[in-house]
Amino acid sequence: MKSKCERCDKKLQAEQSDACICSYECTFCTACATGALQGVCPNCQGKLVERPSRVQAG
C-alpha cells in the first residue's frame, strides 16, 4: 500500500480509511479524490473507491 497521496503528499496510514484507490492502486487521500479529482483517477481515468484496510496481526 502506498503511504502518501499522489496529489498532495498527505501521509496515509494502512490502518486508516482516509484513502481512495483505482484498479491500478493509484492512491489519493479522500479530500483529493472526492474534491479536485471528482472520483476519477488522473492517471488511468478509472473510478476511485475507498481503499480497503489491512487486518492487523495480533
Q: Is the pLDDT of residue 53 over 90?
A: no
- Mean pLDDT over the full length of the chain: 92
The alpha carbons of the chain give a radius of gyration, in whole angstroms, of: 11
> Residue holding cell 492502486?
25
Determine how many CB atoms are found less than 10 A away from the CB of residue 23: 11
Share of the chain above pLDDT 90, in %: 76
- At 35-46, the pLDDT tens digits run 999 999 999 999
Dihedral sign of CA atoms 50, 44, 7, 5 in order:
positive
